[in-house]
Amino acid sequence: MEDVYLSDFDPEPALVTETHVPERSRWPVLDMHNHTQWQEDWHYTDISALVDTLDESNVAAYVDLDGGTGARLAHHLERLRGPYPDRFVVYARLNWQWAVQESGQFGELLARQVRQAVALGAEGLKVWKDVGLRIRDLAGNRVTVSDERLDPLWSTVAELKIPVCIHTGDPLAFFRPADNHNERIEELNRHPDWHFYGPGFVSLTQILDEFEELLDRHPDVTFVGAHMAASAEDLGRLRRMLDKHPNLLVDLSERIAELGRQPYSARDFLLKYSDRVLFGLDVSPARPIDYRIYYQFLETWDEYMP
């Protein structure tokens, strides 16, 4: 037998199972984690095509996390909420790299940005994983999400009463050596920049501890931990986090692969914490089939889906 390259491995499932893919969700869906624009490219040239997908998939409202600030935010609001005011919610995303390089008082700069964004019409704040992973202050130190210099930002967010969708951490495998034991080695081969192991990086446990410190320090801010708060591999830890921090919600976007491998525990978890888990797709441009996979996973007893 010849060795097969991992990059060529493309097994066809031999299981014969019943599948019941729902056309539409049983109830209207709020997609709390999605995008319309990545970097400078629009995913959608025609927003009405996205709205057709939402109609077909029974998605009542769609949160666009790519609002940015200033002119970019105004453009998102005009483009989405102009024609479809009941369909879209736009979150701001701040210019962290600039703020941290500009001044040691970067919390104040970010607070000012979020205040302006809300004045323009943003209804939430998105914080991406680069905060806590890669962003460094003028002295070269990693800026953690619990950094006290950020307190002015979080106090302002509390005052503005907007939710924060925070993507901190990532799948555990991205924090481990990229070797034959790594369960996401194929993905890391395709995206080497998703590997957060080695000099300059800390463990996922430490990043989650820092996140919990933030949750403790700002109990008046509602945080939505994106992707099951990077804890889908360890639902025990996530239970403890949710029990300890009433200001924490999570979204389940992009984590069916983890939940589906522990279906009994995941079902118990989702039922017990049903008021703390938000729906999110995080696939754009979204197709109806992308939503249907989630409906199949959440609404049916189907056991196997590629």
DSSP-derived letter for residue 263 is H
CB neighbour class for 93 (10 Å; exposed up to 12, middle 13-18, buried from 19): buried
**Cα 219 versus chain centre, distance:** 20
DSSP-derived letter for residue 232 is T
Alpha-carbon torsion 236, 241, 243, 249, what sign? negative
Task: Identify the CA nearest to 227 among candidates 207, 200, 199, 213.
Answer: 207
Alpha-carbon torsion 150, 91, 273, 306, what sign? negative
Q: How many residues bind Zn ion (CB under 5 A)?
A: 1
| Nearest CB to Zn ion, comparing residues 31 and 107 | 31
**Contact between 282 and Zn ion per CB under 5 A:** yes
Residue 200 CB, nearest approach to Zn ion (Å): 24
SS3 187: helix
In angstroms, rounded to a whole number, what is the distance separating the alpha carbons of residues 203 and 171?
11
| Nearest CB to Zn ion, comparing residues 106 and 211 | 211
| Nearest CB to Zn ion, comparing residues 147 and 282 | 282
Residue in the shown chain whose Cβ atom is closest to Zn ion = 282
Residue 216 CB, nearest approach to Zn ion (Å): 25
Residue 91 CB, nearest approach to Zn ion (Å): 11
* Residues forming a β-bridge with 291: none
Part of the chain binding Zn ion (CB under 5 A), chosen from 86-94, 131-139, 264-272, 278-286: 278-286
* Residues forming a β-bridge with 88: 62
Residue 54 CB, nearest approach to Zn ion (Å): 17
- Scanning residues 198 to 237, which ones bind Zn ion (CB under 5 A)? none
Residue 65 CB, nearest approach to Zn ion (Å): 6
- Sequence length of the chain is 306
Part of the chain binding Zn ion (CB under 5 A), chosen from 17-25, 140-148, 209-217, 282-290: 282-290
In angstroms, rounded to a whole number, what is the distance separating the alpha carbons of residues 149 and 222?
19
| Nearest CB to Zn ion, comparing residues 31 and 282 | 282
Residue 115: which residues within 8 A CB-CB, separation 6 or more?
Answer: 156, 160
The mark string for 237-276 relative to Zn ion (x by CB under 5 A, - otherwise) is: ----------------------------------------
Part of the chain binding Zn ion (CB under 5 A), chosen from 20-28, 196-204, 264-272, 279-287: 279-287
Residue 41 CB, nearest approach to Zn ion (Å): 15
Site of interaction with Zn ion (CB under 5 A): 282
